[in-house]
């Protein structure tokens, strides 16, 4: 189960597709959140929302066929394991896991579920498939995701401190403390390159098919908002 991570040496744990997915999803959600209230940035908001949806679909597929620690069977455990891990943290006796710890595994599932719901509701609203009174459900789902992100970040910080291991750096390098037999071997860089190429191609297609002047309108809106902020500060 990858719990014997007492070695000081590091091994390859997070493959390149998982790392690319992680940072692209963070970028997409942050960008979509910041552009949610702007009519002029609506196209960017939609583009990033579709990107997030595609990334979630990829992660679900990669969770079945990816490398050892990317597969859901490698880190999703029952409530008992979650409670045992949290109890160990509270007693200052945390058990080290090579992949996601049990609490982190459920955070991943919550993020994927919440993101899928947010994107699905946004898509339904965009195509007017929901009653107008349910528009707020999209915003509510996004707020729930933001809350889960906050819990996830807090968990990463606590885990980094408890295990004396930089978990943020691990999501950049792919390496964590572990035994030699825990190493995944290849980081699957070809799949990461394919994923990135698909995302960039999707962005290019979306902007190529955008109405003329859509990007310029967004820039005007951004400048206008900044001017309004300056005026408010002067007042």
CATH of residue 78: 1.20.950
* Within a domain: 135: yes
* Averaged pLDDT of the chain: 88
* Within a domain: 55: yes
At 213, which helix (H) or strand (E)? Answer: none
Is pLDDT of 26 > 60? Answer: yes
Tens of pLDDT, residue by residue over 98-126, are 999 999 999 999 999 999 999 999 999 88
Is pLDDT of 128 > 50? Answer: yes
Return the DSSP state at 12: E
- The pLDDT confidence band at residue 232, using thresholds 50, 70 and 90, is low
Q: pLDDT at position 39, please?
A: 84
* Within a domain: 149: yes
Tens of pLDDT, residue by residue over 172-197, are 999 999 999 999 999 999 999 999 99
* Full residue range of the structural domain in which residue 162 is found: 15-178+186-223
Is pLDDT of 141 > 80? Answer: yes
Q: Round to whole Å and give the CA distance between 79 and 77.
A: 7
Q: pLDDT at position 130, please?
A: 76
Is pLDDT of 211 > 70? Answer: no
At 148, which helix (H) or strand (E)? Answer: helix 136-163
Using the structure block, give the residue that is written with the tokens 């809350």.
147
Structure tokens at 149: 């992100």
- The pLDDT confidence band at residue 214, using thresholds 50, 70 and 90, is low
Domain count, the chain: 1
| Angle subtended at Cα 104 by Cα 98 and Cα 108, rounded to the nearest 5 degrees | 115
Cβ atoms 77, 99 nearer than 8 A: no
Q: What is the 3-state secondary structure (H, E, C) of 76-123?
A: CCCHHHHHHHHHHHHCCCCCCCCCCCHHHHHHHHHHHHHHHHHHHHHH
* Within a domain: 235: no
Is pLDDT of 7 > 90? Answer: no
* Within a domain: 231: no
Q: Round to whole Å and give the CA distance between 218 and 102.
A: 42
Structure tokens at 171: 């999501």
Q: pLDDT at position 133, please?
A: 67
* Within a domain: 86: yes
* Within a domain: 95: yes
Q: Round to whole Å and give the CA distance between 46 and 131.
A: 19
* Within a domain: 76: yes
Query: By C-alpha distance, which of 103, 102, 108, 99 is closest to 25?
Result: 108
Query: By C-alpha distance, which of 117, 140, 121 is closest to 131?
Result: 121
**DSSP code string of 134-147:** GTHHHHHHHHHHHH
Task: Tell me the Cα Rg of the chain.
Answer: 20
Q: Round to whole Å and give the CA distance between 72 and 148.
A: 19
Structure tokens at 128: 């007017």
Cβ atoms 29, 149 nearer than 8 A: yes
Tens of pLDDT, residue by residue over 87-104, are 999 998 989 999 999 999
């Amino acid at each position: 189960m990858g719990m014997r991570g007492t070695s000081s040496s590091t091994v390859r744990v997070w493959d390149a597709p998982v790392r690319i997915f992680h940072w692209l999803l963070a970028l997409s959600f942050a960008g979509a959140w910041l552009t949610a209230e702007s009519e002029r940035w609506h196209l960017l908001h939609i583009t990033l929302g579709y990107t997030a949806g595609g990334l979630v679909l990829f992660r679900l597929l990669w969770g079945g066929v990816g490398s050892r620690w990317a597969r859901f069977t490698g880190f999703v455990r029952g409530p008992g394991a979650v409670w045992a891990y949290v109890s160990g943290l509270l007693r200052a006796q945390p058990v080290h896991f090579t992949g996601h710890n049990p609490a982190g595994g459920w955070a991943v599932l919550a993020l994927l579920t919440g993101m899928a719901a947010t994107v699905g509701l946004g898509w339904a609203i965009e195509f007017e498939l929901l009653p107008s009174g349910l528009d707020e459900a999209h915003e509510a789902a996004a707020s729930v995701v933001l809350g889960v992100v906050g819990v996830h970040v807090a968990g990463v910080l606590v885990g980094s401190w408890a295990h004396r291991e930089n978990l943020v750096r691990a999501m950049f390098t792919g390496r964590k403390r572990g035994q030699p037999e825990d190493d995944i071997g290849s980081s699957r860089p070809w799949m990461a390159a394919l994923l990135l190429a698909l995302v960039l191609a999707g962005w290019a297609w979306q902007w190529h098919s955008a109405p003329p002047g859509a990007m310029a309108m967004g820039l005007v809106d951004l400048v206008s908002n900044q001017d309004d902020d300056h005026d408010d500060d002067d007042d």
